[in-house]
Amino acid sequence: MMKKLGSALLATLLWTGSASAYELDGELALEGRLFADRGPRGQEQLDGAIWTRWQYFNDWNDGKDSITVVPFLLQDQRDAERSHWDFRELTWLHVGDGWEFRGGLRRVFWGVIESQHLVDIINQTDAVLAIDGEEKLGQPMLNISTEGRFGTLDLYLMSFFRDRTFPGIDGRLGGPLVVADDSSRFEASDGRRHVDVAIRWAHNLENWNFALSHFSGTSREPLFQLEYLGASPIPTGRLIPLYPTIDQTGLELQYIQGGWAWKLEAISRSGYGGDRYAASGFGFEYTQTGIAGSRIDLGWIVEYDWDERGDQAPPGVLEHDLFLGTRWAFNNLGESQLLAGVVVDSDSREQVYWFEGSHRLSDQWKLAFESRIFAGGHLPPTDLTSILTQAAQPDFDNKLGYWQKDDFVQLQLIRYF
């Protein structure tokens, strides 16, 4: 369905804007990932991939109408589930007097904190591309936006749900059991065709930036049901994603003064089979400019993430975790930058260290790297009987245990066109 919808929209949009000048930019990347050890299922330590992303832009009607098309394609060396294509954007924009209308596939980002994206809920996470939730799939939608002296109001109408991507049996940074994302289940009776709605009001007032939002529809974050496939000659099973229907109210708040940026995200959510719960992330970033008379800017980040569900929150959720980070901007010809940080669980003492950086080699070439190190947990038993037992009864004090062999360094060589 998504392929048919995307092809029809693309043909219509390209035809509509064909009479005017257009812009076309692209990037092509070679990617290599080296893991510290073979995976728990014997996965290889070295993995390669190639991906490309292009952007086509065209406007007409004196700039009041425009289209943006952003296709993305990734081919992985080992994991068939990681290989995929998507339209990140396939959007028609019409600008009116004080209002805008957008229709098609879009990516919309909400939120202000660095350590996680609590409020951000419009788009589905592309989890095979990155584990930090930064990469998103395009979401079919209609969006009306109005702007005035009292801020910006956005209304969203969405359907054609996008399933979250998960690593396959040969992939890394997955779980002990393969996720059968082709067998997803939905609480809504109309499944992927369920209509989701959202509203967001944002406003800036002197040093304050704030936003209130509400979403009602199918959660982008699945629960998992363990499905036994048989017990002879050995027990086997898989995880089935279950997407519940939820209501989520969110708050974003940011205060900027001098080199300080104080930030808060908070949500109240219902629909996960239990009582309504709250979660939040808050902290600050302080930036020092021109360190020791140089051109280098140095930022210090401190955030705390809290989830009312505590240890009952799903793995990967920051429920009582401290994030400490530093951001370096070298302000040189290569636009070099570095982000380093650690997330520490205040109860289990599990830690995730991450490093991200990039440097432009020239106008056409850039080198980027990323690393994740998982510490403080212990690798659980890898025999299938124990895996199935722990899938039914998770160890909430060892949420990162299965990733203890998944420390990795990733390099990307990117060519711009």
What is the number of other CB atoms lying within 10 angstroms of the CB of residue 114? 20
Q: Please say if the pLDDT value at position 318 is more than 60.
A: yes
The domain total for the chain is 1
Range of the domain at 267: 2-18+34-416
Average pLDDT estimate for 100-114: 97
Query: Among 49-58, 88-97, 265-274, 407-416, whose mean pLDDT is lowest?
Result: 265-274
Question: Domain for residue 400, yes or no?
Answer: yes
343 within 8 A of 322, measured Cβ to Cβ: yes
- By C-alpha distance, which of 264, 332, 289, 247 is closest to 115? 264
Q: For residue 235, what pLDDT band results from cuts at 50, 70 and 90?
A: low
Q: How far apart are CA 13 and CA 65, in angstroms?
A: 11
pTM of the model: 0.89
Question: Domain for residue 135, yes or no?
Answer: yes
Question: Domain for residue 42, yes or no?
Answer: yes
Q: For residue 17, what pLDDT band results from cuts at 50, 70 and 90?
A: very low
Q: Please say if the pLDDT value at position 176 is more than 90.
A: no
Question: Domain for residue 40, yes or no?
Answer: yes
Q: Please say if the pLDDT value at position 19 is more than 60.
A: no
Question: Domain for residue 26, yes or no?
Answer: no
Please tell me the chain's helix, strand, coil percentages from 3-state DSSP, rounded to the nearest 5. 10, 50, 40
Q: Please say if the pLDDT value at position 261 is more than 80.
A: yes
CATH code (residue 170):
2.40.160
Say what the pLDDT of residue 9 is.
Answer: 53
Question: Domain for residue 23, yes or no?
Answer: no
Question: Domain for residue 164, yes or no?
Answer: yes
Question: Domain for residue 369, yes or no?
Answer: yes
